[in-house]
Structure 1
Amino acid sequence: METTLIAEKVEQAKDAVGASEADAWLTFCRETNEIAEPCLPYILGFDVVWPTAIVIGPAHSTVILGTHDSPNAEELDVHEVKPYDESIREPLQATLSGLDAEKIAVNFDRDDNVADGLTHGLYLRLQELLPGRELVSAGDIISEVRGIKSPTEQERITAAAETTADLLDGLAEEWTPEMTEAEAADWLHERMREAGYASAWSWDYCPTVHAGGDSDPGHTLPGELRVPEGELLHVDFGVVKDSYAADIQRIWVRGEPEPGLQAAFEDVRAAIDAGHEALEPGAVGYEVDAAAREELTARGRETFDHGFGHQVGRTAHDGGLLLGPQWDRYGDSVVGDVRPGELYTMELGLDTKWGYVGQEEMVRVTEDGTEFVVEPQTELRRLSE
């Protein structure tokens, strides 16, 4: 069981509750093998069957769960454990009363999917169980707990990123002119199966492989295209190692690049560098995105139709603050401040006649700025035949 990791995250959660306007954070869930609660891996670490409540206050945490699930919680040795048989009502009410908790943060959020695990039915049930108490969004608390990575999380994300980069280098070494997109994906999948790695997003689409200018960019299935002379191999890829993910994009050219391709690569790198320069503690999400866009348009390029960056953690898209534009589809997820301990991608690309010039790097935010998780791609690499 992930005792060390969960202990780290629960201590973070206590601090986050203490800094919030809520008196306690309540994660309420049931049958999590059927409907997953995104916060459970951080604060409990195992699936539950009966209705379960994890209550975290500024200095104390309690888990209230069915008798048959309670031995797992006892073994964890992180929370006070209150088993029940017939009803969760009385121990839940007593726990909240012991914290003088009237304003309760619960897991719903308009814009952040990883903070929106409470189903509507369970929300109605909470209203019935806790009459007179105010239920508010736990989005800000969850954003801090999930976004600011603990030492254990930082180590695991770094390991996943290094593994991803090594596998991408291995693919480039094994590439031949006869290799199709699908065969490139199969090569990576075989290495993942051998090592027991999961994919950072849907297996069939991870990796995403694009061979040359005839390949449609985006989250597409690898097909039968091969890389023509002078054109690009683009791969978007990430493994999950020890429950934590990576998300990196790399490109290679077959043969000598034309000047237009080299210029496109340099413009993409300049835009990423501009966003990177703006990314620091206290920066606002949409302002970081704007810095990258402004550099790209200043170079006469069309801008990209997605956010510049997202957080990475247990999944490739880890919720919390986005480095994105103020578009309706992103809601308020782009208006928060960047914090030390968070880890972001920086990504954008250009669709050219030689293929998709897509780049994606991973950076962690430090107290003073940022640092790359793995070495960035700063030059156009060649495929060796």
Structure 2
Amino acid sequence: MDAALVSEKVDQARAAVADSDADAWVIFCRETTETREPSLPYVLGFDVVWPTAVVIGPEESTVILGRHDAPTAEDLGVHEVRPYDESIREDLRDTISRMDADRLALNFDRDDPVADGLSHGLFLKLDDLLPDREFVSASGVVADVRGIKSETEHRRIETAADTTLDLLHDAAAEWTPETTEAELADFLHERMREAGYDSAWSWEYCPTVHAGGDAEVGHTLPGDRTVPEGELLHVDFGVVRNEYAADLQRVWVRGEPADGLVEAFEDVRAAIDAGRDVLEPGVVGHRVDARARAELVARDRDLFDHALGHQVGRTAHDGGTLLGPEWDRYGEAVEGEVRPGEVYTLELGLDTELGYVGQEEMVRVTEDGTEFVVEPQTDLWRLDE
């Protein structure tokens, strides 16, 4: 439990509620080791068992939770704490009435998974507990609290990205022509275990390793393929350090690159740079994606079948505004505006006969543009035999 960070984020949440059309934000959850509530680490910092409500208004906040969880909440020193034994009903109603909160923002959203932590059952329960209140989506509040990172969060993300890049360099240094995809993944996993790092997505798929042109590109498990002479090694990887994640892709060639590989890499970089050139506060997510696609079209290249970028924070895919095309599967996530303090990936690749030319960078949005979180890959790296 990080009391200082929770305090930062609760202050941010109060400001977000004040800027919203809601009177209070209610995070309602239970048994959170079984059913995760994505906002809870920001506003409370620990898991709960009994039904729990964190109620955040523009100027104050209260947490109502089971008596056995209450001491940990009191140690935070952030919220007024109201423990209960038999029922949350009276304390919750009294808190909402005292805040004079008629319009309540709840964690449900059609398109943003990190703003959709309220289960249908708990929604029905809350409707019974607070029958005379209006419920609206808290997606805008969640986007502010989760998306706009504090300086503490930026430092942690940068540390995770630095660590990820260091481990990738270490893996490349240990590579031999006999190294399989699975052995490279095992090397990274062993280093992560030794240091106590978590993976930024499912352990089995992190890293994702593609060796040569015969590898099937995507979220695949590492196999027994090695990198043939003149072909590519592509790795998608990220670690979690101190609860914050990284997400990077890097690519190497074994020996001299064959005709067209350098040009493919340069075209990928050009499309990423084109997207980054328009990534600034106020731009709508799908416009950033469209600019990268236009660059590929101008270079007579095939287009990628995913979003150009997503936010990174406590998880590799951190919700909020998405830098993606206006496809049905992305819903309204691509209609959001970019804000200073958010962290995005910029990622795309070209599938060639010699392997996947995939790149993924992380950028921090500033007041007038972006800055790379870690040093970008600007040329095709070589594997030393």
Q: TM-score w.r.t. structure 1 length?
A: 0.99
SS of alignment partner, residue 297 of structure 1:
helix
Between the aligned partners of 2:203 and 2:87, the Cα distance in structure 1 is 40
Aligned to 2:33: 33
Q: Deviations over 1:10-49 (max 9, x none)?
A: 0000000000000000000011111111111000011111
Whole-angstrom CA distance in 2 between matches of 1:189 and 1:118: 33
Separation (CA, whole Å) in 1 of partners of 2:210 and 2:121? 43
Report the equivalent of 1:83.
Answer: 83
The Cα of 1:86 is off from its aligned counterpart by 1.4
Q: The residue matched to 1:346 in structure 2 has which SS?
A: strand
Cα distance in structure 2, aligned partners of 1:304 and 1:144:
29
What residue in structure 2 maps to residue 93 of structure 1?
A: 93
Find the counterpart in structure 2 of residue 182 from structure 1: 182
Structure 1 residue 99, shift from structure 2 partner: 1.2
Which residue in 2 is equivalent to 1:344?
344
Aligned-partner Cα distance in 1 for 2:271–2:283: 17
Alignment of 1:154 with 2:148, yes or no, is: no
Shift of 1:152: 1.1
CA distance in 2, matches of 1:131, 1:220: 48
**1:105 corresponding residue in structure 2:** 105
Identify the residue that residue 272 of structure 1 maps to in structure 2: 272
Between the aligned partners of 1:369 and 1:61, the Cα distance in structure 2 is 34
Cα deviation for residue 297 of structure 1 reads: 1.1
1:72 partner letter: T
Instruction: Give runs of aligned pairs for residues 278-293 of structure 1, distance below 5 A.
Output: 278-293=278-293
Residue 60 (structure 1) aligns with: 60
| AA matched with 1:330 | Y
Matches within 5 A, 1:188-207: 188-207=188-207
Tell me the alpha carbon deviations over residues 93-139 of structure 1, each in whole angstroms, 9 at most, x when there is no partner: 11111111000000100000011000000000111010111011001
Residues 233-268 of structure 1, C-alpha deviations (whole Å, 9 max, x = no match): 000000000011000000000011123111110110
Aligned counterparts of 1:128 and 1:105: Cα–Cα separation in 2: 16
Which residue of 1 is the match for residue 2 of structure 2? Answer: 2
Matched position secondary structure for 2:351: strand
Map Cα deviations across residues 53-112 of structure 1 (whole Å, 9 max, x no partner). Answer: 000000101000111110010001100001111111111111111111000000100000
CA distance in 1, matches of 2:131, 2:193: 50
1: distance between equivalents of 2:297 and 2:323? Answer: 18
Residue 222 (structure 2) aligns with: 222
Backbone CA RMSD of aligned residues? 0.6
Q: Which residue of 2 is the match for residue 131 of structure 1?
A: 131
Amino acid of the residue matched to residue 14 of structure 1?
Answer: R
**Secondary structure of the equivalent of 1:41?**
helix
Contiguous gaps of at least 5 residues in structure 1: none
Q: Which runs of 4+ in 1 moved over 4 A?
A: none
Quick check: 1:303 aligned with 2:303? Answer: yes
> Is 1:246 equivalent to 2:246 in the alignment?
yes
SS of residue paired to 2:319: coil
User: 1:259 is paired with a residue of what secondary structure?
Assistant: coil
Matched position secondary structure for 2:377: coil
**Counterparts of 1:375 and 1:166, CA distance in 2:** 11
Question: What amino acid does structure 2 have at the position aligned with 1:168?
Answer: L
Secondary structure, in 3 states, of the residue corresponding to 1:294? helix
| TM-score, length basis structure 2 | 0.99
> Could you say what secondary structure the match of 1:378 adopts?
coil
Aligned counterparts of 2:65 and 2:321: Cα–Cα separation in 1: 32
* Residue number in structure 1 paired with 2:16: 16
SS in 1 for 2:42: helix
2:74 is paired with a residue whose SS is helix
Query: What code does the residue aligned with 1:101 have?
Result: A
- 2:164 is aligned to 164
Distance in 2, matches of 1:70 and 1:381, equals: 53
Measured in 1, the distance between the counterparts of 2:184 and 2:85 equals: 53
CA distance in 2, matches of 1:181, 1:65: 47
Letter in 1 for 2:309: G
In the aligned structure 2, how far is the partner of 1:348 from the partner of 1:111? 22
Name the SS of the counterpart of 2:260 in structure 1: helix
Q: How many angstroms apart in 2 are the aligned matches of 1:266 and 1:33?
A: 45
Which residue identity lines up with residue 165 of structure 1 in the other structure?
L
Deviation for aligned residue 1:357: 0.3
Q: Whole-Å Cα distance in 1 between the matches of residues 53 and 147 of structure 2?
A: 22
Q: Distance in 1 between matches of 2:74 and 2:41?
A: 16
Aligned counterparts of 2:119 and 2:27: Cα–Cα separation in 1: 11
